[in-house]
Structures are given as C-alpha cells and as structure tokens.
Amino acid sequence: MVLALAVVLIAILALAATLLLRGGDPEPAPPAPATGAGPAPGAADPASPAPAAEGAPGVSAAGEITLPPAFDGLQEELARRDPGDPMALGAADAPVVLVLFSDLRCPYCGEFSREIEPDLVAGHVAAGRLRLEWRDLPTFGEGSRLGARAGRAAAAQGRFWEFTAEVFAAAPRRGHPELDEELLVARARAAGIGDIDRFRADLRSARFDAAIDADVAQAGELGIFSTPSYSVGDLPVAGLQPREFLEAAIADQLAARG
C-alpha cells in the first residue's frame, strides 16, 4: 500500500518537476550555445530549477519551502542499508536515507554532485544522520548505459564516489556530455582507480548489467523516468531541488524519527 501510494505521488511530482521546476531531465536538452554565448535574453538558466509554483513541493520565489507529503514506510521499502555497498555513503543504520536515482549524462545530476552532495556528506553523512544510496537510471541511450557500467567498475575498486565526482566535475554545465571509453578511463585515472586494465574490461563487459537493470526496474515500479529523482526518508522528491529544500526535508525526517 505504501509503495502503491508513493508511485502515484512520485509520478505527480515528476510531472510537476518537469513542467514547473525544470529540474528533472526526462529528455535531451537543446544543444549548448557556442562558446561565449549566454542564454537568450529573458531565458532561464537550464542548470538551475525555477521557483516552485504556489502549493507545489519546492522553494517558492518568496523563499517559502513546501515539502511533499510523507508516506510512512517508504524509506523501509527503498533503502537497502547494505553495509558493504560501495555505491552508498554513510552509516548503514543512519536514521535518514536519501535514495538517489541518477545518470552520469544528466546535467542536473551533475549540479547535485557538485553543489549539494559535498555539503550533505561533510555535514549530515559525517555526523551519522544521513546515508546516501545511488541507484542507476541510465536515461540517455548507450552513453548513459556505458556510464552506469563505468560507475560500477569504479565501485568494484572502491572508488565509486570519487569517480562520479570526477565525471560530473568535467561535464559541461549545459546539455548532456558524451561518454566514451577513453573519456571514462581518463576520469578513472583522475579518480585514483589503480587497475585500469580491469576497469576497461569491466566497462566492456556485461558483468554489471543485471544490477543496472534491477535499479531501472525499481525506478519503473515507482513511476520514475527522469533524473535526478530521489527519496529523503519517507519523502518522495522529483527533480533538482535547492539545498535549503533538502535541508528542510532532512530536518523533517530526522524530527519524525525522534
């Protein structure tokens, strides 16, 4: 029952994020402008979400934060809490788990990685209040699938988060980066992955495809088809949200858990 209700709500939130927040990424973005060109006059920056419409989850133009309804038991449905998961950060018994559906070709996922994730890790994760769990949702063709394989190849050598940080740091701020083997190998070297031959072999193989497909299937069961989408405890969230929204969501869920 919890999961069924969450499916409905997440689908609604995903639509709202696409139409109102512009922080989700369900389809390829328009080509980036020529070097030196900025957005057209009056156009919104596609790397930043627009303020939430009145009553919609998000942060309004006036700075008012509206959280989505919580569904008791959603965290228990989604969080795996595997202490050996190399694609998770934080204590397995942290009171709040943020489950993130992401794609290495998604520009909004990149903004989350660069601008929000480091503060969450340095603050809530380090203090034992929050755990991050990554789920693969390759959305933009074979490049996204290759990126998901690369992430798991990095995870197999204990460098998943360092690798994703390198990929997102090097990605353009607009549009979807092209990911190929040589680019991913370069990012693996930068992330400190020691056995590059093993990384290449894993990247070329179907070794991790079943695990990737399991994440995609879980997303589909929840009605999630865009990235980033995530849950914060029992709160389902769609689209890139400002840091203050996530801080409010985490505080709400910490309070709910005493």
| Entry pTM | 0.82
Task: Give the pLDDT of residue 49.
Answer: 56
Task: Give the pLDDT of residue 61.
Answer: 83
Task: Give the pLDDT of residue 59.
Answer: 83
Q: Write the CB contacts of 195 (distance below 8 Å, at least 6 apart in sequence).
A: 157
User: In the chain, which residues have pLDDT < 50?
Assistant: 1, 5, 8, 12, 14-23, 26-47
* Residue 114, amino acid: R
Q: Which domains does the chain have, with CATH numbers?
A: 2-23+60-256 (3.40.30.10)
Helices 209-221 and 141-155 sit at what angle, rounded to 10 degrees?
120
Helices (H), 52-180: 74-78, 107-111, 117-120, 141-155, 160-170
Tracing tokens 């998943």 back to the chain, one arrives at 160
Task: Give the pLDDT of residue 15.
Answer: 41
How far apart, in whole angstroms, are the C-alpha atoms of residue 131 and residue 118?
13
Task: Give the pLDDT of residue 51.
Answer: 58
* Residue 124, amino acid: H
Q: Are strands 96-102 and 130-136 parallel, antiparallel or unpaired?
A: parallel
Taking alpha carbons only, the member of 131, 126, 110, 116 closest to residue 177 is 110
Q: What is the pLDDT of residues 49-77, one digit of tens each?
A: 555 555 578 888 888 999 999 999 999 99
Q: What is the pLDDT of residues 165-203, one digit of tens each?
A: 999 999 999 999 999 999 999 999 999 999 999 999 999
